[in-house]
Amino acid sequence: MEFLTALRGPFDDQKPSLFEILSEQQLNSLLPPTLRYLLTVATHRYPRYLLRALNSFDELYALAMLVVERHYLRTRGGSFTEHFYGLKREKALQAEIPRASARAPELVREALKLSDQDIWKNLAVMVALPYLKRKLDESHEIEAPRALLGANYTRMPANPTLKQRFMHYYKWFIRNVYPSVHAAYYFSIIAFNLAYLFDSTKYHNPFLWLIGTRIRRMNAADFKAIEALGKPKPGNPPSAATSLFNPRTMGPRILGSLSVLLPASIFALKFLEWWYASDFAKQLSRKAAENLELPPPIVSGLSALGVKMSPKKSGGDDEKGKKEEEGRNKVPLAENAPIATLSLLPIFTVSAPEDSELCPICEDEITTATACQTGVVYCYACIHKWLEGDHPKQEEFMADQAGKWESGQGRCAVTGRRVLGGTEGLRRIMV
């Protein structure tokens, strides 16, 4: 749309397009819900300390933005998100002075710079007005459904106090008048946006028109002034030790670093979005699991190859076979054991029993059946102790093999595959 205004009259290269302003407003509107979501997640973990802050989020956010926006208006000439898009705020003029802006940009910048009174007016539009609108919207969402419940929920109580009388008229305003005010607010913004788009006004917002402030692009003089803020004054150069921890300079440094934190957080968010949306992470996890193969399922009464098992041997043969099996389980072969990725040590595992009704760890009948993420079923007590690393079999084996083997802590006892979430990754089987 910039070419349209150039056809009608002289082209103003410092006037931002409507789409730049709408992008800045969209970014600014995303900050409160994003911070509220992060605070909600943190409150789930530490409710004792953060619950009050979450309940008073709107007030805390308004106070924080009051400090941040005041700092950016005084030092950068624009709001926090406007500085991200290279925009600024300045006093509005009745007529443009392009020749003076080209010849003496520093003088024009100082002449149009926001005064302290203008800064407080802009803070009222940038901070107080959105806070008031959020509160009115929340009240309307609560009070509007109550009007459908009948007069018992909307009438004034008998012998009302001053507070009850005020709340009654406030709720009446929210139910009956505020919807019209809300519609008029958005219609006025749309009208100003269309007028700004076709170069009929200098203001894209009716409230900026009321306070006499307009949005402009930053020029070379603005960037020079911002760069000069970080340099010490020539008459009083501070030492490095005192300037870092000086309360007068620490606050502006922290607030100024937010302009670097915002694009870094956006990049991190987009990277995480790409990571979980693409197949790259899935391919990495698939390659990591290629070396660890799951054993085939074993059905009771059948061997691992599907051949029917031979009948039980006599008592002496059974005892002899158990002793040989215990000897094999006590000292497993490192060649057959899975290898840990980080330490490159063999992982202590147990062999799967021929009878699927037996626990692979204790080799007794399964009690309180619990499935691991690999699909192998154990006794709950056995696999819980195995994942914690304090099962008697592990302790007995690692007494002589410490530093040569991994105990299998946090891993499946049969496959040696790591169990995500530890003991929380176990699932009880209801039979």
Q: Quick: pLDDT tens for 126-170.
A: 999 999 999 999 999 988 887 777 777 778 888 889 988 998 899
Residue 236: band (very low, low, confident or very high) from pLDDT cuts 50, 70, 90: low
Closest CA to 105 of 259, 16, 220, 271: 220
Closest CA to 204 of 217, 216, 194: 194
| Contact between residue 114 and residue 122 where contact means Cβ atoms under 8 Å apart | yes
What pLDDT does residue 153 have?
Answer: 73
Helices (H), 56-205: 57-75, 80-84, 98-103, 105-112, 116-123, 129-146, 162-172, 178-197
Closest CA to 64 of 258, 245, 317, 278: 258
Highest mean predicted confidence (pLDDT) among 65-79, 295-309, 410-424: 65-79
Residue 11: band (very low, low, confident or very high) from pLDDT cuts 50, 70, 90: low
**2-11: average pLDDT:** 48
Per the DSSP assignment, residues forming a β-bridge with 175 are none
Paired tokens of 92? 């509005």
**391-400: average pLDDT:** 85
**63-67: average pLDDT:** 92
pLDDT at residue 171 above 60? Answer: yes
Lowest-pLDDT range of 46-60, 206-220, 247-261, 262-276? 247-261
Residue type, 7: L
Residue 251: band (very low, low, confident or very high) from pLDDT cuts 50, 70, 90: low
pLDDT at residue 103 above 60? Answer: yes
Highest mean predicted confidence (pLDDT) among 8-12, 269-273, 306-310, 357-361: 357-361
pLDDT at residue 417 above 90? Answer: no
Q: How far apart are CA 73 and CA 124, in angstroms?
A: 13
**18-23: average pLDDT:** 91
What pLDDT does residue 58 have?
Answer: 92
Paired tokens of 335? 């060649």
Burial of 127 (0-12, 13-18, 19+ CB in 10 A): buried
pLDDT tens track for 281-312: 666 666 655 555 555 555 444 444 444 444 44
Highest mean predicted confidence (pLDDT) among 101-115, 177-191, 215-229, 289-303: 177-191
What pLDDT does residue 297 have?
Answer: 53
Query: What's the mean per-residue pLDDT of the chain?
Result: 78
Question: What are the backbone dihedrals phi and psi of residue 345, each rounded to the nearest 5 degrees, phi first?
Answer: -100, 150
Paired tokens of 370? 């619990």
Closest CA to 348 of 405, 411, 419: 405
Highest mean predicted confidence (pLDDT) among 3-7, 210-214, 368-372: 210-214
What pLDDT does residue 191 have?
Answer: 95
What pLDDT does residue 157 have?
Answer: 80
What pLDDT does residue 431 have?
Answer: 60
What pLDDT does residue 345 have?
Answer: 84
| Contact between residue 214 and residue 14 where contact means Cβ atoms under 8 Å apart | no
Residue 80: band (very low, low, confident or very high) from pLDDT cuts 50, 70, 90: confident
**182-204: average pLDDT:** 93
Residue 233: band (very low, low, confident or very high) from pLDDT cuts 50, 70, 90: low
Strand 369-371 versus strand 377-379 pairing type: antiparallel
Residue type, 124: A
Q: How far apart are CA 171 and CA 155, in angstroms?
A: 10
| Contact between residue 91 and residue 213 where contact means Cβ atoms under 8 Å apart | yes
Question: What are the backbone dihedrals phi and psi of residue 87, each rounded to the nearest 5 degrees, phi first?
Answer: -110, 165
pLDDT at residue 427 above 90? Answer: no
Residue 177 DSSP label? I
Residue 327, H or E segment:
helix 315-330
Q: Which pTM was predicted? A: 0.58
| Contact between residue 15 and residue 217 where contact means Cβ atoms under 8 Å apart | yes
| Contact between residue 76 and residue 22 where contact means Cβ atoms under 8 Å apart | no
* 3-state secondary structure at position 157: coil
What pLDDT does residue 158 have?
Answer: 83
Is 429 or 431 the better-scoring residue by pLDDT? 429
What pLDDT does residue 208 have?
Answer: 93
Paired tokens of 190? 């749309």
Instruction: Give 315's Cβ-side CA count (13 Å radius).
Output: 0
Q: What percent of the chain has pLDDT over 90?
A: 21
Q: What percent of the chain has pLDDT over 70?
A: 74
CA 158 to chain centroid, in Å, comes to: 49
